[in-house]
């Protein structure tokens, strides 16, 4: 069975050129994370969440039955309920390289994120 990655922040085009690589590893579902109810429904069977700005609340985390990791684009985890994630044993990872599309280092950040997802996935 293919694992499932739920990706929030659909307006961010950070991984667009790498979704093919990710889709070989898992089913990719892009969700508008501002709609907590939809996000909550989609993460029920998700293994990993990729996010940037959208809140990953205790309700979202609590609904996830298989969630093993949350990877954020950028620095920090202030949009994630860390206590809820910790309580469920969910790993958190950040990708501190710039997520601004016009920055030259953006091209190197996407493979870095994919590498983090692969590492996290191998621990699932």
Q: Domain 3-122, CATH 3.40.50.720 — does that match?
A: yes
Q: What is the 3-state secondary structure (H, E, C) of 93-118?
A: EEECCCCCCCCCCHHHHHHHHHHHHH
Predicted local confidence at residue 99, as pLDDT: 45
C-beta atoms surrounding 40 within 10 Å: 17
- Give the whole-angstrom CA distance, residue 95 versus residue 113: 6
Alpha helix segments (H runs only) across 26-57:
36-42
Predicted local confidence at residue 74, as pLDDT: 78
7, 28 contact by CB (below 8 A): yes
Domain boundaries, the chain: 3-122
- Give the whole-angstrom CA distance, residue 94 versus residue 80: 11
Predicted local confidence at residue 123, as pLDDT: 56
Predicted local confidence at residue 53, as pLDDT: 86
Mean pLDDT per block of 10 residues along the chain (124 residues) reads: 87 70 84 87 95 93 96 86 96 71 46 58 56
Q: Which of 37, 83, 34 is nearest to 54 (CA)?
A: 34
């Amino acid at each position: 069975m293919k694992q499932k990655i739920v990706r929030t922040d659909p307006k961010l085009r950070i991984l667009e050129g790498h979704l093919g690589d990710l889709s070989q590893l898992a089913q990719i579902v892009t969700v508008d994370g501002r709609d907590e109810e939809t996000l909550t429904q989609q993460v029920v069977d998700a293994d990993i969440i990729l996010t940037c700005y959208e809140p990953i609340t205790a309700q979202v985390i609590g609904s996830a039955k298989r969630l093993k990791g949350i990877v954020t684009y950028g620095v920090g985890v202030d949009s994630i309920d860390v206590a809820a994630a910790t309580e469920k044993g969910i790993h958190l990872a950040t990708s501190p390289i710039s997520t601004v599309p016009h920055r030259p280092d953006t091209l190197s950040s996407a493979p870095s994120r994919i590498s983090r997802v692969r590492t996290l996935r191998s621990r699932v």
